[in-house]
Amino acid sequence: MKFNLIIIFFIIFISKNLYSDETSEWLKKEIDIILEAYKNQNLSNENRFLLIEETINNNFAGTGIAKFVAGKAWKKSDKNTKKIYIENFKRHLALNIASMMQGYSDQTYELTKSKYDNKNQVTLIDMEIFSDTGSVVVTWRVKEAKDRFFVIDLIVADISLVVTKRSEFNSMLKKVDNDLSKFNEVLSDQNQISYQKITE
Amino acid sequence: MSKKNVILFFLFFSLLSYKVIASDADQVNTDSEDFETTTIEDEIYDPFEPVNRAIFSFNNVADRIVLEPIAKGYKKLPSPLQSGINNFLSNLRAPLVVVNQLLQGQGQNAFQSSGRFIVNSTVGIFGLFDVAEKMGLEEKEEDYGQTLATWGVGDGFYLVLPLFGPSNLRDTSGMVLTMLTDPINAYAVSEGEAWLVPMRTAANAVDTRSQIIDEVNALRDNSVDYYAAVRSSYYQNRKAAINNVDDSELTPLPLISIEFE
């Protein structure tokens, strides 16, 4: 029986490591798609962003994050408002990430550490981005659902993108009495400004 | 192995390799309670928000007109020169880092930082080269704000300081303590070279800003409320610095559970 227990523990240990490796491989593939899009000079700025947006939408838990950052405003909104908000948020998320990744496009990177957080069932993957003067570490939080991985957060210099967005949205939502439909207008306007900047 | 154990193993592997047809990320949703799981934004006490916002706007303009262009110019300098300046400025901060590490009871870190200062100031030619890093003496930053926090002093209210940017009551007190006790500044003043103090502050600002040009621009260009985004970022960053733990573990985890509709 003792032998069996050792084998079970060994298998659990191995499977967690394999799981982390699998997650890292998946993440590397998706990051490369984004960085390659920046390096591809044949793409127009608009097409480049649309390609990146598609990659982000396919790999981020966009709807889940949208609900989380909306906070209290989510509950009292109707179905249609929520639907518009999710669409707006996904574009907003893509614009934010695309804008940030743009700065890293001419640098090399390495996925340096991968760790599975048993308690929260989240894989944390550290990505070290190297420049001539130093390096910066970006941590990706990845969660699995039904045989697929989804990024649920991105941490740069100890700052969580999702927590920052929640704080930022909360501040703006307070100004419109937590009315998500009014907030949709603000978000849509901001998206247009950001879109123009990234595609110009 | 008994038949019972074989069945158990079979069940175990079945559970591990359970595969379901993947769906599109668009269908991902969360538990209804997920969006109520954190109150981090409510923890930030900002009673002077209107005044802070006004100063923030002023700082933002000053950044766009003065600091950012200088930082961009600095970024065009040869990389070894940038690294040298960064190392030099960092080495000047080392004596106070040691003091704060001692005040926080981090004897080993203080010993290591002292070693860094001695090695880099001598072998590293006045701190221009980070020789200590190559010897395994890792750089660690500590300041009076962090020390006060370790002693149990709370954040106090949020403050935006003209030109210095985001802070809070505790960290502002820490900054004043730094100005009053920094031995390098004190030496410069005693030698009649007080002009070096603001020069050093400006050089630190340019060096730091040059390292976060893309991140700041990404945040500024894409925020619905840039002020709130910077405020939140400041608190998260300070919290991580105070706790001295792995940032990826410390940063609050949004409990986004994934389900399929």
Contact A62, A86 (CB under 8 A): yes
User: Would you state the pLDDT for residue B224?
Assistant: 94
* Number of domain units in chain A: 1
Nearest to A65 by CA among B111, B200, B258, B174: B258
Contacts of A187 in chain B (CB under 8 A): 224
Mutate to test the interface with A, among B224, B231, B245 (most CBs of A within 10 A): B224
pLDDT of B27 = 41
Q: Token match 């985004």: residue?
A: B229
| Nearest neighbour of A139 by CB, restricted to B44, B237, B247 | B247
Alpha carbons A138 and A160: distance in angstroms, whole number: 10
How do residues A113-143 score in pLDDT, each as one tens digit?
Answer: 888 888 888 888 999 988 877 788 889 999 9
B41, B222, B248: residue with CB nearest A139? B248
Q: What residues in chain B have per-residue pLDDT under 70? A: 1-43, 245-261
pLDDT for A184 equals 96
Using a CB-CB cut-off of 8 Å, the residues of chain A touching B232 are 159, 163-164, 167-168
Mean pLDDT check: name the lowest of A76-80, A86-90, A118-122: A118-122
pLDDT at B199: 94
Which pLDDT band, with edges at 50, 70 and 90, does A195 fall under? very high
Q: At A187, which CATH number?
A: 3.10.450.710
pLDDT at A148: 87
Number of C-beta neighbours around residue B198 at 10 A: 10
Q: How far is it, in rounded angstroms, from Cα B44 to Cα A67?
A: 21
CB pairs under 8 A between A and B: 202
pLDDT at B261: 43
A163–B229: do the CB atoms touch at under 8 Å?
Answer: no
Percent of chain A past pLDDT 90, that is, above it, reads 34
Give the type of residue at B41.
Answer: E
Per residue in B114-137, pLDDT (tens digit) is 999 999 999 999 999 999 988 989
Residue A82's pLDDT band, with cuts at 50, 70 and 90, is very high
- pLDDT reported for residue B17: 34
Q: Mean pLDDT throughout A39-57? A: 87
Interface contact A145-B250, CB threshold 8 A: no
Dihedral pair phi/psi, residue B204, rounded to 5°: -60, -45
**Predicted structure pTM score:** 0.82
Which among A64, A157, A162 has CB closest to B28?
A64
Full residue range of the structural domain in which residue A27 is found: 2-199
